[in-house]
Structure 1
Amino acid sequence: MTRERPPADHYGVVAVASSAGGIQALSAVLGALGPELPVPVLVVQHLDPRHRTVLDQVLARRTALPVKLAEAGERARPGTVYIAPPGQHLLVGSDGVLSLSTTEAVHFVRPSADLLFASVASAYGPAAIACVLTGTGRDGATGVDTVKAHGGTVIAQDPKTAEFTGMPQSAVDTGAVDFVLPLEEIAAVVRGLVEAERQ
């Protein structure tokens, strides 16, 4: 049985990936999204798995949206930010239910933006938005290709404005990116996309 796709003009999720320099970048984007975002936000930020993270608490102080560490089996709710826990891949199913995995690292990282983006592409198709922010390495590049192949929309931070250029430049180099934006413009574009069909 194939799942009925949401219409392409009705976005259902935003997935965001960052690594080095990401806390500041995430703070800027999430802080500018406003208090009533009509879709959930799923975040992969590369963190040291040897330490308990307080990233959810840090980001919660910088955005009006509720922020929490993702838990397996919970349904992603609109207007809530879900952070992948350290050392665990974050995935989402076609029913919007989150899952966590400790399978092998991808490009030496776990959580992996590539795996999150692939699951978002499969679950939401053209209703997915994927966003790549500052970071080293190339995590997310394969994933944005997958999102684009499923009809989704891809945003990358302009590498010239990124503290670390590896991840956003790798995304841009795929040719799958729809918007290459300075950090301070990303939230407005996301809001414009997800709110456009609700006017």
Structure 2
Amino acid sequence: MPHRAPSTEIAAPPEGLRLIAIGASAGGVEALGLLLCALPATCRASVVVVLHLAPGRSSRLPLLYAARCLLPIREAQDKEPLQPGVVYFAAPDYHLQIEPQRSFSLSLEAPVYFSRPSIDVLLETAASTYRREMLAIILTGASADGARGLAKVRQLGGAAWVQDPATASSAAMPAAALRLAGADRVLDIWQLAASLALLTN
């Protein structure tokens, strides 16, 4: 990821957010570190993250970020209700879905774009449940995963932010999302972090 001074342009987060769903792949560990550590302790939305991981590997991501972030971070569990002000990571080798009663379910259905968990699966199920109460963010990555899900988020009234492909470690995923779904805002990673820092409820 290129290093430069933080940007000054930021976007006000939509009002009434109950869910922030973030998808990332190649280059996503560093990008997520900036975003998650920018979330204020006053954030009352649930935050759900899908980061593509190799199958068969245990995830140490919650441990990696927990010491630097103000919100509690943990791996999402099957049938667990989403709680406000908590960051959840998808478990490796399971699709993470959000049920209509706002709880998680894990699935072993076929990979999407060779990935399980899939960003599309998370976003499509979340959009059907949260509609206008959600913000979806697509970050750096090397596939088109997330584009179809982002289109559904926007179709059902949710907000969509996409990392500027020109500033991403891997431009393919944000570029695919913009081609298929468009976005409400296209921001570099520093702008995205500064924008999330504005969350107050």
TM-score by length of 2: 0.89
State the distance in 1 between where 2:196 and 2:41 align: 14
Structure 1 residue 175: Cα displacement: 4.2
Structure 1 residue 62: Cα displacement: 2.6
Look up the match of 2:195: 189
After superposition, the C-alpha distances for 1:122-180 in whole angstroms (9 at most, x for unaligned) are: 00011111000111011000000000000100001111111111111111112431110
Amino acid at match of 1:37: C
Note if 1:83 corresponds to 2:89.
Answer: yes
Note if 1:50 corresponds to 2:53.
Answer: no
Look up the match of 2:74: 68
Q: Does structure 1 conserve the Cα–Cα contact (< 8 Å) formed by 2:21 and 2:48? A: yes
* SS across alignment from 1:85: coil
Q: 1:128 aligns with which of 119, 130, 134?
A: 134
Q: Does structure 1 conserve the Cα–Cα contact (< 8 Å) formed by 2:118 and 2:145? A: yes
Question: How many residue pairs were aligned?
Answer: 188
Write the mapping of 1:92-171 to structure 2, written as runs, cut at 5 A: 92-171=98-177
Structure 1 residue 42: Cα displacement: 0.5
* SS across alignment from 1:188: helix
State the distance in 2 between where 1:48 and 1:118 align: 22
State the distance in 1 between where 2:194 and 2:150 align: 20
After superposition, the C-alpha distances for 1:2-46 in whole angstroms (9 at most, x for unaligned) are: xxxxxx942110000000111100000001112221111000000
State the distance in 1 between where 2:64 and 2:177 align: 27
Structure 1 residue 191: Cα displacement: 4.7
Amino acid at match of 1:155: W
Q: Does structure 1 conserve the Cα–Cα contact (< 8 Å) formed by 2:38 and 2:196? A: no
State the distance in 1 between where 2:151 and 2:182 align: 6
Structure 1 residue 84: Cα displacement: 0.4
In structure 2, stretches of 5+ residues that fail to align are: 1-13
Amino acid at match of 1:19: S
TM-score by length of 1: 0.90
State the distance in 2 between where 1:81 and 1:52 align: 18
Structure 1 residue 188: Cα displacement: 3.1
% same residue: 36
Note if 1:34 corresponds to 2:28.
Answer: no
RMSD: 1.4
